[in-house]
Structure 1
Amino acid sequence: MASGLINANPVVYERKERQVRSVPTIIDEDAEELIDQQEIFDYIRDIQDPEHPYTLEELKVVTEDSIEVNDKKSHVSVTFTPTVEHCSLATTIGLCLHVKLMRSLPSRYKVDIRVAPGTHATEAAVNKQLNDKERVVAALENPNLMYMIDRCLEPAFYY
């Protein structure tokens, strides 16, 4: 590996055009807005890959179809697909997704992040780390890891 990258030449896909969301004409301040699949995708699509200058959408690490939302049960599940089966940054990507959704969603939501079945060599271990509340809290106390996550969550501007 002369470049030092885990996946030196990832496949880059075209970004999906953003859909315009309709705005209700009457706003009921007491009613909570329903969260849907498209809204979750809009939150996470622009997260930067920790290894490449591309978004998770451009690398097809996340897609709109990989998101499940149960608004009545306040539950969101995101399944992501690493670009290579031995990606050492899979847990970091999962933490980026988790942090972005924690910062974006109302606190009533439970978020589950998982690696797509059969797409990572240590899938079970990564899933266990990402969905163990104590492990996630401990990871987010690491300043170096939080620096990397914050860099991945910085907004990118597309022209």
Structure 2
Amino acid sequence: MTTLINQNPVIYETATGDSNRAWRDDDNDNEDSTDFIDAQEVFDLIRSISDPEHPLSLEQLNVTQRDHIQVSDKNNHILVEFTPTIPHCSMATLIGLCIRVRLLRCLPSRFKVDISVRKGTHQSENAVNKQLNDKERVAAALENAHLLEVVNQCLATATSGGVVANIGKGPTVET
């Protein structure tokens, strides 16, 4: 039996309504045109990523928040900051890798994406941030078949509608 790092995480209420909205389609198939990307669209892409340790989304665990995403469409730059559930979370690098892979797969290639742990939320934030923003380290991590399988599983098993079964003595909901 595997011991969980954060055995009893707090579950937050998720936003309703505009989640996972479709990409804007102006009925313009001109490949030379560029779609405007904003922080809400980036948030919609990453909010439903499953936590590697729990059957909960990053939004439900308050790991990702819309206010912690900065988009400069003009400069083709996106900064996503995330907050691990505990200061010594050993899954922080994996969570950041999942966020990076989702954005690499979904956003136009013109964007430079930086992923980082929010300042003061992890005991090894500098080391985690260095790993997450080093192209060679990210490429090497994604060449590892087992690690790629875990990332794909986190990206594929998104929770729906914020409803998660709570079996036994599970997490509590904070609103």
TM-score by length of 2: 0.84
Change (3 A) 1:84 1:132: same
Which whole-Å CA distance do the structure 2 matches of 1:23 and 1:98 have between them? 21
CA contact (8 A) 2:48 2:158 kept: yes
Question: How many residues of Structure 1 are paired with residues of Structure 2 in the alignment?
Answer: 158
Name the structure 2 match of 1:77: 79
Which whole-Å CA distance do the structure 2 matches of 1:69 and 1:7 have between them? 31
- Aligned-partner residue type, residue 36 of structure 1: D
Name the structure 2 match of 1:122: 124
Name the structure 2 match of 1:62: 64
Gaps of 5+ in 1: none
Change (3 A) 1:129 1:28: same
From 99, 102, 108, the counterpart of 2:101: 99
Which whole-Å CA distance do the structure 1 matches of 2:108 and 2:92 have between them? 25
Gaps of 5+ in 2: 162-175
- Secondary structure of the equivalent of 1:94? helix
- Aligned-partner residue type, residue 93 of structure 1: I
- Aligned-partner residue type, residue 37 of structure 2: I
Deviation for aligned residue 1:31: 2.5
Which whole-Å CA distance do the structure 1 matches of 2:101 and 2:130 have between them? 17
- Secondary structure of the equivalent of 2:101? helix
From 19, 34, 46, the counterpart of 1:32: 34
Using CA pairs under 8 Å that are at least 6 residues apart, name the structure with larger relative contact order, 1 or 2: 2
Cα deviation 1:70-91 (Å, max 9, x = unaligned): 0111111100000000000100
Q: Does 1:18 align with 2:20?
A: no
Which whole-Å CA distance do the structure 1 matches of 2:35 and 2:160 have between them? 28
CA contact (8 A) 2:43 2:65 kept: yes
Which consecutive segments of 4 or more residues in structure 1 shift more than 6 A?
Answer: none
Cα deviation 1:14-67 (Å, max 9, x = unaligned): 111132689676647342110000100010000000000100000000000010
